[in-house]
């Protein structure tokens, strides 16, 4: 059931970008860098009868520094997850999702993200889709956050692309 929930969330995010399609000829800028995050705070947590840890509306603050200053900055995320418990070093695994806002001097980016903390090794794989505002109005970004370490304090490797609208 949870696999289908994650598939549904990813599909909905992909469909949301069909409203403003990015052409294959649209200028694209590839970037990479690192994101360092603090702990999730203020989450409303409960454990279901099935032993799943459910969290809703948590907050997470991160600092992201990448090779394109337009999308480097302070990140504020809402965090939701349905985690199952596992033996160390994984401890917890399962799907996660939420919203994201990246802010810097030029403006901000907003969007949503989905991801998974894996059962086998506790790694985190997250994908975000963002729209730009302020100086970034009209731009879109797709971002992959990868943490191949079960330690929740370890930084994420960040890989992404900024897509610019085509000229007329």
How many C-alpha atoms does 138 have within 13 Å on its Cβ side? 8
Q: Is residue 145 part of a domain?
A: yes
Q: What is the secondary structure of 109-160 as a DSSP string?
A: EEEEEEEEE-TTT--EEEEEEEEEEETTTT-EEEEEEEE-SS-TTSPEEEEE
Average pLDDT in the 153-165 region?
Answer: 96
Q: pTM of the entire structure?
A: 0.84
Kind and range of the H or E element at 10? helix 2-16
Peptide bond into 101 cis (omega under 30): no
**Backbone φ, ψ for residue 11 (5° rounding):** -65, -45
Q: How confident is the model at residue 147 (pLDDT cuts 50, 70, 90)?
A: very high
Residue for token pair 């917890």: 92
Q: How many structural domains comprise the chain? A: 1
Average pLDDT in the 115-141 region?
Answer: 98
Longest Cα separation, the chain: 57
Residue 19 pLDDT exceeds 90: no
Q: How confident is the model at residue 18 (pLDDT cuts 50, 70, 90)?
A: very low
Q: Is residue 168 part of a domain?
A: no
Q: Is residue 127 part of a domain?
A: yes
Q: How confident is the model at residue 5 (pLDDT cuts 50, 70, 90)?
A: low
For 71, 107, 129, the CA distances from 163, given in Å and listed in that order, are 12, 16, 11
Q: Tens digit of pLDDT for each residue in 38-78?
A: 999 999 999 999 999 999 999 999 999 999 999 999 999 99
- What is the CATH classification number for the domain harbouring 21? 2.40.350
Boundaries of domain holding 141:
2-163
């Amino acid at each position: 059931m949870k696999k289908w929930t994650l598939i549904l969330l990813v599909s909905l995010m992909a469909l949301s970008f069909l409203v403003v399609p990015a052409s294959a000829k649209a200028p694209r800028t590839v970037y990479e860098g690192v994101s360092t995050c603090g702990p999730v705070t203020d989450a409303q947590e409960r454990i279901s009868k099935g032993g799943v840890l459910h969290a809703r509306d948590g907050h997470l603050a991160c600092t992201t520094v990448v090779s394109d200053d337009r999308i480097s900055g302070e990140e504020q995320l809402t965090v939701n997850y349905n985690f199952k418990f596992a033996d160390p070093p994984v401890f917890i695994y399962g799907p996660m999702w939420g919203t994201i806002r990246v802010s810097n001097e030029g403006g901000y980016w907003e969007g949503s993200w989905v991801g998974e903390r894996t059962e086998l090794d506790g790694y985190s794989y997250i994908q975000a889709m963002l729209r730009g505002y302020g100086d970034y109005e009209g731009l879109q970004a797709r971002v992959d956050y990868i943490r191949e370490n079960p330690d929740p304090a370890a930084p994420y490797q960040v890989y992404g692309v900024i897509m610019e609208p085509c000229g007329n």
